[in-house]
Amino acid sequence: MRDEDLQRVFQYIGGIIREEGAIPFAVGGVADHIHILTTLPKTVAMSDFVRVIKAKSSKWLRKVDAYYEPFQWQEGYGAFSVSPSLMERTTKYIFGQAEHHKVKSYHDEYCETLKAYGIEYDERYAFGD
Protein backbone atom coordinates (compact mmCIF):
# COMPACT_ATOMS: atom_id res chain seq x y z
CA MET A 1 0.00 0.00 0.00
CA ARG A 2 1.31 3.46 -0.80
CA ASP A 3 2.22 5.59 2.21
CA GLU A 4 0.23 8.55 0.88
CA ASP A 5 -2.96 6.47 0.94
CA LEU A 6 -2.62 5.00 4.43
CA GLN A 7 -4.61 7.60 6.41
CA ARG A 8 -7.49 7.41 3.97
CA VAL A 9 -7.52 3.59 4.22
CA PHE A 10 -7.41 3.74 8.02
CA GLN A 11 -10.36 6.15 8.07
CA TYR A 12 -12.34 3.94 5.72
CA ILE A 13 -11.68 0.87 7.87
CA GLY A 14 -12.81 2.82 10.94
CA GLY A 15 -16.07 3.49 9.10
CA ILE A 16 -16.54 -0.20 8.31
CA ILE A 17 -15.99 -1.06 11.96
CA ARG A 18 -18.64 1.47 13.04
CA GLU A 19 -21.08 0.11 10.40
CA GLU A 20 -20.59 -3.34 11.90
CA GLY A 21 -21.59 -2.07 15.35
CA ALA A 22 -18.15 -1.87 16.93
CA ILE A 23 -16.00 0.98 18.23
CA PRO A 24 -12.70 1.64 16.41
CA PHE A 25 -10.32 3.07 19.03
CA ALA A 26 -7.28 3.06 16.75
CA VAL A 27 -6.56 2.05 13.17
CA GLY A 28 -3.00 2.53 11.99
CA GLY A 29 0.08 0.88 10.61
CA VAL A 30 2.49 0.98 7.73
CA ALA A 31 2.48 -0.02 4.07
CA ASP A 32 2.77 -3.77 4.69
CA HIS A 33 0.45 -4.25 7.68
CA ILE A 34 -2.13 -2.56 9.85
CA HIS A 35 -3.25 -2.74 13.46
CA ILE A 36 -6.79 -2.23 14.69
CA LEU A 37 -7.84 -1.65 18.28
CA THR A 38 -11.59 -2.15 18.40
CA THR A 39 -14.41 -3.69 20.27
CA LEU A 40 -15.93 -6.84 18.82
CA PRO A 41 -19.70 -6.97 18.35
CA LYS A 42 -21.15 -9.50 20.81
CA THR A 43 -22.95 -11.47 18.11
CA VAL A 44 -20.08 -11.67 15.59
CA ALA A 45 -17.20 -14.15 15.48
CA MET A 46 -13.74 -12.62 15.16
CA SER A 47 -13.12 -14.43 11.87
CA ASP A 48 -16.34 -13.02 10.39
CA PHE A 49 -15.53 -9.52 11.64
CA VAL A 50 -12.07 -9.59 10.06
CA ARG A 51 -13.47 -11.08 6.84
CA VAL A 52 -15.98 -8.24 6.51
CA ILE A 53 -13.34 -5.57 7.17
CA LYS A 54 -10.99 -7.09 4.61
CA ALA A 55 -13.69 -7.66 1.98
CA LYS A 56 -15.24 -4.21 2.19
CA SER A 57 -11.94 -2.33 2.40
CA SER A 58 -10.28 -4.21 -0.47
CA LYS A 59 -13.35 -3.77 -2.69
CA TRP A 60 -13.31 -0.02 -1.97
CA LEU A 61 -9.55 0.30 -2.39
CA ARG A 62 -9.60 -1.36 -5.81
CA LYS A 63 -12.02 1.37 -6.96
CA VAL A 64 -9.99 4.25 -5.49
CA ASP A 65 -7.09 4.01 -7.91
CA ALA A 66 -6.02 1.72 -10.76
CA TYR A 67 -2.83 1.09 -8.78
CA TYR A 68 -4.88 -1.04 -6.38
CA GLU A 69 -6.82 -3.14 -8.90
CA PRO A 70 -4.85 -6.31 -7.99
CA PHE A 71 -4.92 -5.54 -4.24
CA GLN A 72 -5.88 -8.15 -1.70
CA TRP A 73 -5.18 -8.54 2.00
CA GLN A 74 -3.13 -11.48 3.17
CA GLU A 75 -5.19 -14.52 4.07
CA GLY A 76 -4.45 -14.62 7.79
CA TYR A 77 -4.57 -12.24 10.72
CA GLY A 78 -3.57 -12.07 14.36
CA ALA A 79 -6.04 -11.13 17.08
CA PHE A 80 -5.26 -10.38 20.70
CA SER A 81 -7.38 -9.14 23.57
CA VAL A 82 -6.20 -6.02 25.37
CA SER A 83 -6.76 -5.21 29.01
CA PRO A 84 -8.55 -1.90 29.60
CA SER A 85 -5.49 -0.78 31.55
CA LEU A 86 -3.42 -1.11 28.36
CA MET A 87 -5.75 0.74 25.96
CA GLU A 88 -3.79 4.01 26.00
CA ARG A 89 -0.45 2.25 25.58
CA THR A 90 -1.83 0.11 22.74
CA THR A 91 -3.28 3.16 20.98
CA LYS A 92 0.10 4.94 21.16
CA TYR A 93 1.79 1.81 19.83
CA ILE A 94 -0.60 1.63 16.87
CA PHE A 95 -0.21 5.29 15.96
CA GLY A 96 3.59 5.02 16.31
CA GLN A 97 4.05 2.18 13.80
CA ALA A 98 6.04 4.17 11.23
CA GLU A 99 8.68 5.16 13.78
CA HIS A 100 8.60 1.81 15.55
CA HIS A 101 9.33 -0.20 12.42
CA LYS A 102 12.38 1.88 11.58
CA VAL A 103 13.98 -0.01 14.48
CA LYS A 104 12.36 -3.45 14.35
CA SER A 105 10.72 -5.31 11.48
CA TYR A 106 7.12 -6.48 11.63
CA HIS A 107 8.29 -10.08 11.27
CA ASP A 108 10.73 -9.87 14.19
CA GLU A 109 8.28 -8.05 16.41
CA TYR A 110 5.44 -10.47 15.73
CA CYS A 111 7.65 -13.49 16.47
CA GLU A 112 8.86 -11.88 19.71
CA THR A 113 5.27 -11.17 20.78
CA LEU A 114 4.14 -14.72 20.11
CA LYS A 115 7.13 -16.14 21.99
CA ALA A 116 6.66 -13.73 24.93
CA TYR A 117 3.10 -14.98 25.41
CA GLY A 118 3.93 -18.65 24.87
CA ILE A 119 2.01 -18.92 21.61
CA GLU A 120 3.27 -21.70 19.38
CA TYR A 121 3.39 -20.99 15.66
CA ASP A 122 4.84 -22.28 12.43
CA GLU A 123 6.49 -19.57 10.31
CA ARG A 124 5.29 -21.28 7.13
CA TYR A 125 1.74 -20.44 8.13
CA ALA A 126 2.26 -17.31 10.24
CA PHE A 127 3.83 -15.38 7.37
CA GLY A 128 3.01 -17.29 4.19
CA ASP A 129 0.27 -16.31 1.81
**Quick check: 22 and 40 in contact, CB under 8 A?**
yes
- Tell me the average pLDDT of the chain: 90
CA-to-CA distance for 76 and 90, rounded, in angstroms?
A: 21
Q: What is the pLDDT of residue 110?
A: 82
pLDDT digits (tens, 9 = 90+) for 26-58: 999 988 889 999 999 999 999 999 999 999 999
CA-to-CA distance for 125 and 129, rounded, in angstroms?
A: 8
Q: What is the pLDDT of residue 128?
A: 61
As a whole number, mean pLDDT of residues 87-105 equals 85
CA angle (118 as vertex; 86, 121 as ends), nearest 5: 110
Options 2.10.25, 2.60.120, 3.10.450, 3.30.70; CATH of 3-126: 3.30.70
pLDDT at 129 over 70: no
As a whole number, mean pLDDT of residues 64-88 equals 91
As a whole number, mean pLDDT of residues 5-24 equals 97
pLDDT at 87 over 80: yes
- CA atoms in the 13 A half-sphere facing the CB of 47: 2
